[in-house]
């Protein structure tokens, strides 16, 4: 129980019993976990709280990934109007954790800080902090393609919503964003239905090549915010916005929608639909058709009828509930999603999208070690096969199949499914990113950049999309723009600060901008990344003693990674003999590990690393790669 103790944090008034904070007339509701996180920080204001402390106290007894904790931290920062790189509320302490730096004042009638009722497990656990609970946080931006093929899911909702880059170009004429619909039901318990209907409309519209439809990640990032249409349009670079509301009462549903021209905020079309819930299955098609009619375009008609769409209203409702929890990804949500997807299949065993939902659930349960791999892989394979037999026309089905075959040693089948996905989803940011990733894998960096730019246009607020664009620009040699795009990505996800500093520092070094690079490097925690950067910069600036000290620290670490770092340092200095000597050492260490996959990854990284490009003309380079 949170109790009824009200207090203030900085300029915000906090009402724990209502899960609400306010500042003047601005009232914001928090998810329970986010409120618990705020209470945890407030109870321990000024103290450093490690990531492990947070996960154990806020999510007691539940298995959560670090991304769930980061997501809640970023959500809290966003609500407070805080920025990780210039914090006024929550400060990041590298390799240690976080601390609340804003003043906390408890109400006069409850001035005793102990009166703030955190859950008992939170108090008990925090009292044990002196026993040394702490973890090092390592943040690495993963490639979208690698994440897909290795089986990681791209977060689709509940992620950080911070200061975002603003579009600088005029929006395409038929560009549209479908905003999350508002739940207006009496008990405010139909958000899954509101989200589901909005997403189904988006999926209908995205099939039309005459429309540029902003992806779900970006459109839904405005959920729960009071942003006006002009602000949304500017951030998403769209000419049109579709918004609406859903009200369920008894067995009836009312959906109100309106299409807005963002240039002058005029209403191009609006409509209210009253249906029995059992007759609401075609609502999204009706609304999409009305939008198309208002824009004087024609939606794509199916040339083939598939049996994988349900006509069972209860199955469809259960599916939407499962999709809601699967996309939100709060602790325990994956298991809830599995329950609802299975319930949908109990109602209609031929519902293809419920099968593909179950495939995603099995994969995540294996990834989080809640389900053993042998059992989970068999269930995932069965679910994918059922979905393929029912709806082979869905890009998501083909993508799931590609990921499964890639993770289970069948690259030929993975390529076939990826090819089919690309044919089906040319207006999909995810598919474009897959194509960009494949181009990058083949060393076609300019093609990768071009494809990823299109993906970013469709998902302008997607952190992974912008971060991957920065990576492709980096490898293509466009270092100045790579820094700009990486900075934009960091604004979307401040928890990536450390990895971003490393990226920006190396991009600056490759441009011979050593002093600004040093500024970035000096803010990194002690370790290999910092020493590599210091060695490169100090050597270029003529501080040989400092460079040698950093090199010596690396030389004392007998790992493949450190030998590779030393090779990069000497390549950047122009000492090719010493660079090749450390490359041979790195290769010997990698071979000694006798792990073929790691060896292949190491060789691939050598081929693509810009620091080694001066070595490519040397005959010794082929010897290293052999």
pLDDT score at 126: 34
The alpha carbons of the chain give a radius of gyration, in whole angstroms, of 26
Instruction: Give the model confidence (pLDDT) of 476-502 as tens digits.
Output: 999 999 999 999 988 888 888 899 999
Residues 101-119 have a mean pLDDT of 54
Give the distance from CA 501 to its chain's centroid. 19
Most confident of 27-41, 297-311, 411-425, 557-571: 557-571
Whether the predicted pLDDT of 214 surpasses 80: yes
Return the DSSP state at 114.
Answer: G
* Lookup: tokens for 357: 């939902």
Q: Which helix (H) or strand (E) holds 26?
A: strand 26-29
pLDDT score at 506: 96
Residues 147-154 have a mean pLDDT of 40
Q: How many CA atoms lie within 13 A of 41 on its CB side?
A: 26
Q: How many CA atoms lie within 13 A of 246 on its CB side?
A: 26
- Indicate the SS3 state at residue 406: helix
pLDDT score at 309: 74
Report yes or no: 229 and 171 within 8 Å, Cβ to Cβ.
no
* CATH topology assigned to domain 7-131: Arc Repressor Mutant, subunit A (1.10.10)
The pairing of strands 182-183 and 240-249 is parallel
Instruction: Give the model confidence (pLDDT) of 278-310 as tens digits.
Output: 666 677 778 888 888 888 776 655 433 344 578
* Lookup: tokens for 102: 């804003």
Q: 33-54 burial by CB neighbour count: b if 16+ within 10 A, else e?
A: bbbbbbbbbbbbeeeebbbbbb
Most confident of 162-166, 234-238, 324-328, 563-567: 563-567
pLDDT score at 169: 61
Whether the predicted pLDDT of 408 surpasses 50: yes
Burial label for 32, CB within 10 Å (0-12, 13-18, 19+), is: exposed
Most confident of 177-186, 290-299, 327-336, 445-454: 445-454
CATH architecture of 175-296: 3-Layer(aba) Sandwich (3.40)
Alpha-carbon gap, residue 24 to 489, rounded angstroms? 31
Return the DSSP state at 278.
Answer: G
User: pLDDT band at residue 127, thresholds of 50, 70 and 90?
Assistant: very low
Report yes or no: 161 and 225 within 8 Å, Cβ to Cβ.
yes
pLDDT score at 305: 38
pLDDT score at 396: 83
Whether the predicted pLDDT of 166 surpasses 80: no
Instruction: Give the model confidence (pLDDT) of 235-274 as tens digits.
Output: 899 999 999 898 888 878 888 999 998 888 888 888 898 8
Alpha-carbon gap, residue 530 to 525, rounded angstroms? 7
pLDDT score at 139: 27
Domain boundaries, the chain: 7-131, 175-296, 465-625
The Cα angle at residue 316 between residues 310 and 322, in degrees rounded to 5: 130
Higher local confidence (pLDDT), 299 or 230:
230
Q: Which helix (H) or strand (E) holds 162?
A: none
Whether the predicted pLDDT of 161 surpasses 60: no
Q: Percentage of the chain with pLDDT > 70?
A: 84
Mean pLDDT of the chain: 81
User: pLDDT band at residue 424, thresholds of 50, 70 and 90?
Assistant: confident
pLDDT score at 345: 94
HEC string of 476-541?
CCCHHHHHHHHHHHHHHCHHHHHHHHHHHHHHHHHCCCHHHHHHHHCCCCCCHHHHHHHHHHHHHH
Residues 50-59 have a mean pLDDT of 80
pLDDT score at 267: 85
CATH architecture of 465-625: Alpha Horseshoe (1.25)
Q: Percentage of the chain with pLDDT > 90?
A: 31
Higher local confidence (pLDDT), 105 or 344:
344
pLDDT score at 117: 40
* Lookup: tokens for 173: 């004429």
pLDDT score at 564: 94
pLDDT score at 303: 38
pLDDT score at 437: 86
User: pLDDT band at residue 7, thresholds of 50, 70 and 90?
Assistant: confident
pLDDT score at 108: 37
pLDDT score at 198: 86
């Amino acid at each position: 129980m949170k109790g009824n103790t009200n207090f203030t944090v900085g300029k915000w008034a906090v009402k724990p019993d209502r899960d609400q904070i306010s500042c003047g007339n601005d009232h914001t509701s928090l998810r329970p976990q986010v409120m618990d996180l705020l209470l945890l920080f407030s109870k321990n204001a000024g103290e450093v709280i490690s990531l492990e402390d947070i996960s154990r106290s806020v999510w007691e007894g539940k298995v959560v990934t670090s991304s769930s904790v980061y997501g809640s931290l970023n959500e809290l920062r966003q609500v407070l109007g805080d920025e990780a790189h210039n914090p006024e509320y929550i400060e990041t302490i590298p390799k240690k954790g976080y601390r609340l730096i804003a003043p906390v004042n408890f109400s006069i009638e409850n001035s005793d800080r102990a009166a703030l009722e955190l859950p008992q497990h939170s108090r008990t656990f925090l009292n044990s902090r002196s026993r040394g609970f702490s973890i090092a946080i390592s943040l690495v931006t993963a490639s979208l393609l690698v994440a897909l093929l290795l089986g990681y899911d791209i977060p689709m909702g509940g992620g950080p919503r911070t200061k975002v880059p603003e579009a600088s170009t005029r929006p395409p004429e038929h560009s549209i964003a479908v905003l999350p619909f508002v739940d207006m039901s009496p008990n405010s318990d139909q958000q899954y239905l509101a989200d589901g209907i909005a997403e189904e409309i988006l999926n209908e519209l995205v099939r039309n090549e005459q429309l540029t439809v902003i992806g779900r990640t970006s459109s839904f990032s405005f959920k729960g915010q009071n942003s006006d249409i002009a602000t949304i349009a500017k951030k998403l670079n769209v000419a049109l916005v579709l918004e609406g509301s859903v009200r369920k009462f008894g067995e009836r549903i009312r959906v109100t929608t309106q299409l807005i021209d963002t240039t002058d905020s005029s209403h191009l079309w609006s409509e209210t639909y009253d249906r029995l819930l059992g007759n609401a299955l075609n609502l999204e098609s009706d609304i999409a058709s009305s939008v198309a009619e208002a824009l004087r375009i024609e939606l794509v008609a199916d040339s083939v009828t598939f049996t994988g769409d349900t006509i069972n209203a209860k199955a469809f409702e259960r599916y939407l509930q499962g999709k809601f929890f699967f996309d939100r990804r709060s602790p325990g949500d994956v298991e809830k999603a599995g329950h609802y997807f299975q319930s949908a299949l109990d109602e209609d065993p031929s519902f293809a999208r419920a099968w593909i939902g179950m495939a995603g659930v099995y994969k995540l349960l294996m990834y989080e070690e809640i389900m053993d791999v042998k059992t989970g892989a068999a269930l995932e394979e069965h679910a994918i096969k059922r979905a393929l037999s029912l709806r082979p026309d869905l890009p998501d089905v083909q993508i799931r199949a590609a990921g499964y075959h890639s993770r289970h040693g069948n690259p030929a089948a993975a390529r076939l499914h990826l090819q089919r996905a690309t044919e089906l989803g040319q207006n999909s940011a995810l598919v474009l990113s897959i194509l960009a990733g494949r181009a990058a894998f083949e060393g076609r960096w300019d093609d990768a950049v071009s494809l990823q730019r299109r993906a970013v246009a469709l998902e302008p607020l997607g952190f992974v999309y912008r971060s991957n664009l920065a990576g492709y620009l980096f490898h293509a040699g466009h270092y100045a723009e790579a820094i700009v795009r990486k900075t934009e990505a960091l604004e979307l996800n401040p928890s990536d600060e450390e990895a971003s500093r490393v990226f920006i520092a190396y991009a600056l070094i490759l441009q011979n901008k050593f002093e600004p690079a040093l500024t970035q490097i000096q803010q990194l925690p002690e370790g290999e990344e910092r020493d590599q950067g210091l060695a490169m910069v100090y050597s270029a600036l003529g501080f040989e003693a400092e460079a040698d000290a950093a090199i010596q620290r690396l030389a004392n670490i007998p790992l493949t990674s450190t030998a590779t770092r030393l090779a990069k340092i000497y390549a950047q200095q122009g000492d090719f003999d010493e660079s090749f000597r450390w490359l041979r050492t790195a290769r010997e260490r990698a071979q000694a590990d006798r792990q073929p996959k790691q060896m292949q990854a190491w060789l691939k990284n050598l081929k693509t690393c810009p620091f080694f490009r001066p070595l490519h003309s040397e005959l010794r380079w082929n010897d290293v790669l052999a």
